[in-house]
């Protein structure tokens, strides 16, 4: 039961499939509650990272507090948490859900329920959140709001007639949504008089403040000068600032039970203020940590290497800083014969990997080589031991291996029924094992397959989109390890094995894969001084070969009448061009080539 002192608070999030209009809806809510002045308004104001604006997706969670005067004249404090929508970031959704009492389920009127609508809804229900259903984009000519409402009813049990119709773009229906939020979402539970307990649902690194932990206060209160402790580590700090989350950080005196805000306490790294941890009063005995968070699990691993070795330290620092902002990123130093010193990084998925690389490039001006992504294998040795291998070059010799287990996922694909055949074929091609099929409504199917994670991480999502003309959607969860007949495929350039290009692959696909990979590498590696043999080998046996012919011409004929400076500058340019390639044995390999495996069509 909620304390009357918390009756005016509503903490909620918006869950939706990507592009169904979460961010746009958030904009409308900010406008209607006068949280932002018209000058501060810009489209999708919460997506503040450049990358988010470009990709049109939300990467980090965001939160913002609003004041809303309801129809009955009461003033409410609304805390909205905008969440990411891509399959790689399901975890971030779960963190923000745990800070809320309710969720607005937004469904695009022309698309209907998609895989993530569903998986997020399930997460919300698991957290016991009250759900408000809303159909968005009713202004579109292709809108089928009634169908969408029926889908929502089918899935959530919310009666179709109770589902709101709105347009986040035009704003119609949004005032009604606000009313429904304060009516149907309960105020927070929690004890304002108990010792402090707050959940960290996100954390950012701020240049001036250090770690800024975004918290939902569950019990008690926190103010500047308080002693706090992080329950998982036991480390103690003194709070230097607390505040609410507006467009920026807005300091306040006290954050009370039920509220969402931030805490600054001189914490230097997020490792000491882990997302999912509980912040408690320093002096209180026997505090129980708050539940509801899922361990982050890296699904994909890849080596990141600086293009030029002098950027190693910069890369190290940059990763250190990104980790402060990105609890899902893990990294440790590694070395490669081909690439020198670099870092092994774990990512949630390929999009996450792409985003991290892109941020390293943009925010730290780093020039990077990423090695072939890999999942983590369990290798059972003849000797009885077990090693985990997430880097193909670390695969023990074939003779030492008793068996290899690979990670599996349970994948749920939602699709219009007409693409079901294509999708099932795709899953089967990817060694999928059929689990279940049901229909959400007549023309919309939900199919579940058990698939090796390795088959999903590379291009599965893109293929899925293409075989379904973009209509199918995907969510997956980790589903344990199973034995698989996988082998290591090596790439040799002029006879030298290139560790960074090795992949682990199912034996049945190895030949074809080897051929395609060689062909791709031939495309990506420029002609060199000497002919280059590109070979794919399985345990020492060459299974595919391509030859890259030698360059024939690269010479400046004239000496520019003694203009040696000009010639030297030309040389400088060519040199830089070469430095953007890695010298591997006798061959110069451009950075794109290391991701050839992602570019192979199959």
Ligand X SMILES: Nc1nc2c(ncn2[C@@H]2O[C@H](COP(=O)(O)OP(=O)(O)O)[C@@H](O)[C@H]2O)c(=O)[nH]1
The yes or no reply on residue 83 touching Mg ion (CB under 5 A) is no
Q: How far is the CB of 228 from other proteins (least distance, A)?
A: 36
Q: What angle do CA 315, 319, 320 make, to 5 degrees?
A: 115
Query: CB of residue 53 vs ligand X: minimum separation in angstroms?
Result: 10
Q: Does 359 bind ligand X (CB under 6 A)?
A: no
Give kind and range of the element (H or E) at residue 81: strand 75-82
Q: Taking the CB of residue 209, how many other CB atoms lie within 10 A of it? A: 16
Q: What is the contact surface with other proteins in residues (CB under 8 A)?
A: 308-310, 312, 340-341, 529-530, 551-559, 561-565, 567-568, 570-572, 574-575, 577-579, 583, 586, 588
Largest CA distance in the chain: 89
Choose the one of ligand X, Mg ion, other proteins, none that binds residue 37, judging by a C-beta under 5 to 8 angstroms depending on kind.
Answer: none
Least spacing, CB of residue 426 vs ligand X, in Å: 25
Residue 32 binding ligand X, by CB under 6 A: no
Closest separation in Å from C-beta 16 to ligand X:
5
Q: In 3-state terms, what secondary structure has residue 538?
A: strand
**In the window 3-22, what residues touch ligand X (CB under 6 A)?**
16, 18-22
Q: Considering the complex, state which of residue 24 and residue 372 has its C-beta at the smaller distance from ligand X.
A: 24
Contact 461, 510 (CB under 8 A): no
Using Cβ positions, the residue closest to Mg ion within the complex turns out to be: 23
Q: Looking only at residues 142 through 201 of this chain, which bind ligand X when binding is defined by CB under 6 A?
A: 167-169
List the alpha helices (DSSP H) in 392-482. 420-429, 453-457, 460-467
Please say which residue, 21 or 112, places its beta carbon nearer to ligand X. Answer: 21
Bridge partners, 583 (sequence order): 588
The minimum distance between CB 336 and other proteins, in angstroms, equals: 14
Sole binder of Mg ion in the list 11, 13, 21, 23 (CB under 5 A): 23
For Mg ion, the binding residue among 11, 33, 35, 58 (CB under 5 A) is 58
What are the angstrom distances between the C-alpha of 317 and each of 312, 313, 352, 360, 501?
9, 6, 19, 10, 26
| Per-residue H/E/C for 171-213 | CCCHHHHHHHHHHHCCCCCCCCCCCCEEEEEEEEEECCCEEEE
56 binds ligand X (CB under 6 A): yes
Cβ-based neighbours of 527, under 8 Å, separated by 6 or more:
548, 549, 550, 551
116 binds ligand X (CB under 6 A): no
**Candidate list 139, 179, 363, 405; residue touching ligand X; CB under 6 A:** 139
DSSP codes, 552-593: --------GGG-HHHHHHHHHHHHHHHHTEEEETTEEEEGGG
Select the span of 65-73, 136-144, 299-307, 515-523 touching ligand X (CB under 6 A).
136-144
Q: Which partner in other proteins, Mg ion, ligand X, none is near 556 (CB below 5 to 8 A by kind)?
A: other proteins
Q: How many residues in total does the chain contain?
A: 602
Residues lying near ligand X in the complex (CB under 6 A) are found at: 16, 18-24, 44, 56-58, 85, 136-137, 139-140, 167-169
């Amino acid at each position: 039961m909620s304390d009357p002192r918390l009756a005016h608070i509503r903490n909620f999030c918006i869950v939706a499939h990507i592009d169904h209009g979460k961010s746009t809806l958030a904009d409308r809510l900010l406008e209607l509650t006068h949280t932002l002045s018209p000058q501060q308004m810009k489209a999708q104001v919460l997506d503040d990272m450049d990358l988010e604006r470009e990709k049109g997706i939300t990467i980090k969670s965001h939160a913002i507090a609003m004041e809303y005067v309801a129809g009955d004249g009461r003033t409410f404090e609304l805390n909205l948490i905008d969440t990411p929508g891509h399959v790689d970031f399901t975890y971030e959704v779960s963190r923000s859900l745990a800070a809320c009492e309710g969720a607005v389920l937004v469904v695009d009127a022309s698309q209907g329920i998609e895989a993530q609508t569903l998986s997020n809804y399930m997460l919300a229900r698991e957290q016991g959140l009250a759900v408000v259903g809303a159909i968005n984009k009713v202004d579109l000519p292709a809108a089928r709001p009634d169908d969408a409402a029926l889908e929502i009813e089918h899935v959530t049990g919310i009666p179709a007639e109770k589902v709101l119709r709105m347009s986040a773009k035009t704003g119609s229906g949004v005032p009604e949504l606000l009313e429904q939020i304060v009516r149907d979402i309960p105020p927070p539970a929690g004890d304002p008089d108990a010792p402090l307990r707050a959940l960290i649902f996100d954390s950012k690194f701020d240049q001036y403040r250090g770690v800024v932990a975004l918290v939902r206060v569950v019990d008690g209160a926190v103010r500047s000068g308080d002693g706090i402790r992080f329950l998982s580590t036991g480390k103690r700090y003194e709070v230097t600032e607390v505040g609410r989350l507006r467009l920026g950080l807005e300091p306040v005196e006290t954050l009370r039970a039920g509220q969402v805000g931030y805490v600054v306490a001189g914490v230097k790294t997020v490792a000491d203020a882990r997302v999912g941890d509980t912040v408690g009063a320093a002096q209180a005995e026997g505090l129980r940590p708050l539940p509801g968070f899922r361990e982050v699990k890296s699904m994909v691993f890849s080596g990141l290497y600086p293009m030029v070795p002098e950027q190693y330290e910069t890369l190290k620092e940059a990763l250190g800083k990104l980790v402060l902002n990105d609890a899902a990123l893990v990294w440790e130093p590694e070395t490669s014969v081909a690439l020198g010193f670099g870092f092994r990084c774990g990512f949630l998925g390929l999009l996450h990997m792409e985003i991290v690389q892109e941020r390293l490039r943009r925010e730290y001006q780093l020039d990077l080589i990423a090695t072939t992504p890999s999942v983590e294998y369990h290798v059972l040795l003849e000797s009885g031991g077990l090693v985990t291998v997430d880097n193909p070059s670390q695969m023990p010799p074939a003779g030492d291996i008793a068996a290899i287990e690979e990670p599996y996922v349970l994948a749920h694909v939602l699709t219009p029924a007409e693409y079901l055949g294509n999708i099932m074929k795709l899953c089967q091609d990817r060694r999928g094992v059929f689990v279940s099929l049901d229909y959400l409504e007549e023309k919309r199917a939900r199919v579940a397959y058990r698939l090796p994670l390795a088959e999903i991480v590379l291009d599965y999502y893109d293929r899925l989109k293409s075989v379904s003309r973009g209509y199918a959607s995907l969510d997956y969860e980790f589903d344990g390890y199973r034995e698989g007949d996988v082998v290591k495929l090596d790439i040799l350039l002029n006879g030298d094995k290139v560790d960074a290009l090795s992949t682990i692959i199912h034996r049945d696909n190895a030949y074809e894969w080897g051929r395609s990979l060689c062909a791709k590498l031939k495309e990506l590696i420029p002609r060199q001084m000497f002919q280059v043999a590109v070979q794919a080998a399985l345990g020492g046996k060459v299974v595919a070969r391509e030859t890259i012919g030698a360059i024939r011409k690269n010479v400046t004929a004239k000496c520019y009448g003694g203009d040696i400076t000009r010639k030297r500058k030309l040389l400088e340019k060519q040199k830089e061009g070469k430095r953007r390639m890695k010298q591997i044995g006798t061959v110069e390999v451009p950075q794109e080539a290391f991701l050839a495996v992602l570019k192979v069509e199959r």
